[in-house]
């Protein structure tokens, strides 16, 4: 049992020390709380008169307070009290450095818990439930069976998937070839063999990529990360111990929180990620430069890029993975573009946890040619399955103007294809105010019903994880940061209320940053969501009756879209014909890689 004198130096902000006093008393310590109106000399007199083990002082900082606290310590020291009594300072802005500077034996600040204070006083390590530093890596897809609850839709999806897999049999592309070369390269050590494979790889790349990899002539704005930059990152990770990690989620049933990384500069991404981790973000999605989707071949090496999107080379992914906490999830997107299989293979090799594939959205919105993306995407799903990587399917075609039901139908096709190839898919319906909604007024009454109906509809169709994105609140945010944070937090609260598995949130300046987004803006939305989750707890939104109508409407329209797609010979044909988003909707089949699919000996693996 310790004898403890609690000194509220600040008569107003004394809640903390009262809580600590009560907790200490509950644990059997002898505590005494001084009244708040004593002079410094009176407090010292009191402290000197009895043998206390600890004197706990609480005080917020303000003008001249540091000097006041310093003098208090001086008086205790000169009176001889400090030879046998430890003096501890607590208050919102107190850091260990400040406590040392002011001469206190220990300091506890905003991020310290009462358990930490008690552990210090009892001279024991922090243990048990109080220690929330240790986190385990969550697995979003592990609890789902991918069984189709809606019989007819399940049948339609089966038909579409079978037709598509059958169509893709015997087809290959340079994207698949490069992926295979990468697999071979990782297995050989002989330099001449490596050279042969590398030459072959470069021959399958667009000249701009081949030149960069072979002659180190990089596209404009691309360069290697310097040794100094690497050293700084290492120092940052090693020397800057994060403060006690916070949780965004009030309880574990609330969704995991993801953020984008993609400043172009991996080291800047890491700095942002470390700060976000500390604020409780559970995972990150690396957003790559748009040109990575358009060129055949990927750049290799630790590369930085003075433009939007971070280059997803194996080395960059590995660096980011190594710098993140082991429990933090990392997703590498590969859902559109000419390098989908290779990107997923390299991401798996570099330790990424998840990836992103959407054959439909990746083929629309001026993306990749549907045939090419289908052939590549199916191979990519196989790679994902081999490496036990779940893939998420972003429904961002809705932003091109595609009606939500068609977008959701597209997601479901990917789920069924993944299921047949052994890969676990994660549905990513948008929580957005998209063009179709603006035009047709589904959100005229509120933003709750329509978004909630998407989740209800998907749940009624399939048993699969749901992760609204991407990010949530798309098109509802403005340049004003408070508004933007609010919009994100309301959508996050709705997501939590619907029981989804994860959400992606944007920073408050994401849409308006005119360059790399800022740390402060990232924290804005994280803190807003944290508060929303705390506010909601186990409570939930009560959508109006309109949500039921929207749900029925979604299911009916999804079925109708899938009936249309199933009538075509295969998925690419359906996409090209506008069955999952027409030119009238604003969706245009992509042209990159058109005509590059060819027959090969390589069989696209059939379903399990």
Partner 1 sequence: MLTTIGIAGTAKNTGKTTTLNALLHYAQSGARSTNDAPSMSFRAAEGGEKSASAQETQSGFLTSPARSRNSDGFGMTTGVTSIGYDGEEIDNITLLPKPRIFLNRGMIASTSSQCVPENGWSVLYKTGLFTALGEIVIVRCETPGLIVLAGPNKRSELETVVRQMADLGCENIFVDGALNRIAPMSIVDKIIFTTGAARTTDIATLVDEMKAIESLFGIGRTKWTKSILKAEGHCEGAQRPKQSPEFTRKTRLLRQTTARNDNDLEFLRWPPNKQEKPPINVILSEANLPAGQAGNPDFSAGNSTGTIIDATEAEIILQHYKIMCYVRRGGYPLHIDGLITSNGLRTLVERIHLLPDAERPQEIIFADPITMLLSGEPKTTAQLLSHLIEKNITISYQKPIQLAAITVNPFYPECRGTTYTSAYVDAKVLISRMKQSLETPTFDTMRNEVSELNRCIK
What is the binding site for partner 1 (CB under 8 A)? Answer: 41, 44-52, 61, 63, 66-67, 70-71, 73-85, 95-107, 238-239
Question: 95 or 513, CB closer to partner 1?
Answer: 95
Tell me the closest approach of the beta carbon of residue 106 to partner 1, in angstroms: 5
Burial class (CB in 10 A: 0-12, 13-18, 19+), 495: buried
Question: 87 or 344, CB closer to partner 1?
Answer: 87
Tell me the closest approach of the beta carbon of residue 507 to partner 1, in angstroms: 23
Question: 82 or 419, CB closer to partner 1?
Answer: 82
Residue/partner pairs of 304-307 with CB below 8 Å, 24 or more apart: 304/222, 304/223, 304/224, 304/225, 304/229, 304/264, 304/265, 304/266, 304/267, 305/221, 305/222, 305/264, 305/265, 306/221, 306/264, 306/265, 307/221, 307/264
DSSP 114-167: HHHHHHHHTTS---GGG---------TTTT----BSSHHHHHHHHHHHHHHHHH
Question: 104 or 467, CB closer to partner 1?
Answer: 104
Helix axes 404-421, 151-168, angle to 10 degrees: 60
Tell me the closest approach of the beta carbon of residue 131 to partner 1, in angstroms: 19
What does the buried/exposed string (b/e) look like for 137-152 if buried means 16 or more CB atoms within 10 Å of the residue's CB?
Answer: ebebbeebeeebebee
Tell me the closest approach of the beta carbon of residue 73 to partner 1, in angstroms: 7
Tell me the closest approach of the beta carbon of residue 97 to partner 1, in angstroms: 5
Question: 215 or 238, CB closer to partner 1?
Answer: 238
Tell me the closest approach of the beta carbon of residue 32 to partner 1, in angstroms: 10
Burial class (CB in 10 A: 0-12, 13-18, 19+), 221: exposed
Question: 17 or 574, CB closer to partner 1?
Answer: 17
Structure tokens at 280: 């409780």
User: Is the CB of residue 501 less than 8 Å from the CB of residue 256?
Assistant: yes
Tell me the closest approach of the beta carbon of residue 107 to partner 1, in angstroms: 5
Tell me the closest approach of the beta carbon of residue 96 to partner 1, in angstroms: 5
Question: 51 or 192, CB closer to partner 1?
Answer: 51
- Distance from chain centroid for Cα 24: 38
Tell me the closest approach of the beta carbon of residue 474 to partner 1, in angstroms: 34
User: Is the CB of residue 331 less than 8 Å from the CB of residue 285?
Assistant: yes
Tell me the closest approach of the beta carbon of residue 237 to partner 1, in angstroms: 13
Cα angle 448-456-252, degrees, rounded to a multiple of 5: 80
User: Is the CB of residue 274 less than 8 Å from the CB of residue 238?
Assistant: no
What does the buried/exposed string (b/e) look like for 343-362 if buried means 16 or more CB atoms within 10 Å of the residue's CB?
Answer: bbbbbbebebbbbbbbbbbb
Question: 190 or 228, CB closer to partner 1?
Answer: 228
Question: 9 or 144, CB closer to partner 1?
Answer: 9
Residue/partner pairs of 517-521 with CB below 8 Å, 24 or more apart: 517/263, 519/271, 519/272, 519/275, 521/481, 521/484
Question: 234 or 583, CB closer to partner 1?
Answer: 234
- In angstroms, what CA-CA distances link 97 with 107, 146, 244, 606? 8, 53, 16, 62
Handedness of CA 314, 318, 320, 324 (dihedral sign): positive
Tell me the closest approach of the beta carbon of residue 9 to partner 1, in angstroms: 16
Cα angle 404-147-545, degrees, rounded to a multiple of 5: 45
Tell which residue, 513, 505, 510, 509, has the closest CA to residue 531: 505
Tell me the C-alpha distance between 505 and 6, whole Å.
42
- Name residue, tokens 């290799």: 300
Question: 91 or 394, CB closer to partner 1?
Answer: 91
Tell me the closest approach of the beta carbon of residue 85 to partner 1, in angstroms: 6
Q: Which residues contact 12 (CB under 8 A, 6 or more apart)?
A: none
Q: Which residues pair with 90 in a beta bridge?
A: 58, 108
Tell me the closest approach of the beta carbon of residue 56 to partner 1, in angstroms: 14
Tell me the closest approach of the beta carbon of residue 420 to partner 1, in angstroms: 53
End-to-end CA distance of the chain: 65
Question: 118 or 360, CB closer to partner 1?
Answer: 118
The SS3 call for residue 348 is helix
Tell which residue, 358, 356, 360, has the closest CA to residue 347: 356
φ/ψ of 256, rounded to 5, equals -70, 150
Question: 37 or 601, CB closer to partner 1?
Answer: 37
Count CA atoms closer than 13 A to 28's CA, side-chain side. Answer: 2
Question: 81 or 565, CB closer to partner 1?
Answer: 81
Tell me the closest approach of the beta carbon of residue 50 to partner 1, in angstroms: 6
Question: 107 or 394, CB closer to partner 1?
Answer: 107
Tell which residue, 397, 429, 408, 416, has the closest CA to residue 555: 408
């Amino acid at each position: 049992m310790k004898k403890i004198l609690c000194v509220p130096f600040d008569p107003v902000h004394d809640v903390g020390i009262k809580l600590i006093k009560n907790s200490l008393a509950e644990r059997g310590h002898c505590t005494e709380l001084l009244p708040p109106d004593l002079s410094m000399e009176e407090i010292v007199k009191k402290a000197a008169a009895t043998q206390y083990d600890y004197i706990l002082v609480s005080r917020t900082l303000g003008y001249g307070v540091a000097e006041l606290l310093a003098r208090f310590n001086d008086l205790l020291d000169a009176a001889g009290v400090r030879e046998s009594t430890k003096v501890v300072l607590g208050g919102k802005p107190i850091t260990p450095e400040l406590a040392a500077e002011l001469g206190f034996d220990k300091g506890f600040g905003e991020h310290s818990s009462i358990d930490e204070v008690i552990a210090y006083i009892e001279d024991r390590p922090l243990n048990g439930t109080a220690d929330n530093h240790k986190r385990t890596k969550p697995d979003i897809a592990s609890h789902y069976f991918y069984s189709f609850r809606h019989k007819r839709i399940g049948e339609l999806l089966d038909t579409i998937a079978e037709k598509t897999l059958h169509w893709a049999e015997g087809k290959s592309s340079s994207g698949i070839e490069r992926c295979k070369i990468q697999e071979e390269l990782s297995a050989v050590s002989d330099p001449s063999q490596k050279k042969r494979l590398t030459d072959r790889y470069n021959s399958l790349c667009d000249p701009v990529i081949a030149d960069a990899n072979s002659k180190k002539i990089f596209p404009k704005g691309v360069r290697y990360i310097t040794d100094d930059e690497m050293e700084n990152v290492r120092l940052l990770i090693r020397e800057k111990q994060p403060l006690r990690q916070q949780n965004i989620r009030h309880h574990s049933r609330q969704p995991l929180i993801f953020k984008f990384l993609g400043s172009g500069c991996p080291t800047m991404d890491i700095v942002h990620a470390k700060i976000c981790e500390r604020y409780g973000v559970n995972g990150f999605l690396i957003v790559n430069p748009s040109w990575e989707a358009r060129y055949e071949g990927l750049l290799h090496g630790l590369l930085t890029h003075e433009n939007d999107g971070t280059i997803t080379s194996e080395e960059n992914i590995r660096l980011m993975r190594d710098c993140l906490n082991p429990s933090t999830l990392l997703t590498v997107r590969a859902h559109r573009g000419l390098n989908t299989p290779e990107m997923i293979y390299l991401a798996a090799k570099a330790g990424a946890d998840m990836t992103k594939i959407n054959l439909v959205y990746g083929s629309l919105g001026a993306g990749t040619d549907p045939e090419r993306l289908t052939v590549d995407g199916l191979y990519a799903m196989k790679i994902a399955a081999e490496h036990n990587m779940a893939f998420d399917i972003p429904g961002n075609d809705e932003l091109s103007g595609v009606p939500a039901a068609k977008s959701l139908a597209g997601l479901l096709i990917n789920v069924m294809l993944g299921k047949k190839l052994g890969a676990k898919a994660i549905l990513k319906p948008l929580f957005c105010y998209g063009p179709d909604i603006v035009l047709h007024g589904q959100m005229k009454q509120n933003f709750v019903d329509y978004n909630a109906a998407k989740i209800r509809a998907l749940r009624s169709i399939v048993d699969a994880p749901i992760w609204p994105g991407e990010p949530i609140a798309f098109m509802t945010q403005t340049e004003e940061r408070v508004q933007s944070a609010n919009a994100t937090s309301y959508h996050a609260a709705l997501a939590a209320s619907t029981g989804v598995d994860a959400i992606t949130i944007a920073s408050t300046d994401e849409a308006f940053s005119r360059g790399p987004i800022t740390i402060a803006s990232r924290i804005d939305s994280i803190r807003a969501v944290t508060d929303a989750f705390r506010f909601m707890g186990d409570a939930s939104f009560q959508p109006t009756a309109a949500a039921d109508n929207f749900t029925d409407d979604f299911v009916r329209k999804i079925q109708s879209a899938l009936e249309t797609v199933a009538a075509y010979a295969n998925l690419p044909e359906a996409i090209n014909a506008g069955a999952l988003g027409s030119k009238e909707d604003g969706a245009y089949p992509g042209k990159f890689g058109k005509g590059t699919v060819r027959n090969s000996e390589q069989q696209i693996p059939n379903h399990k």
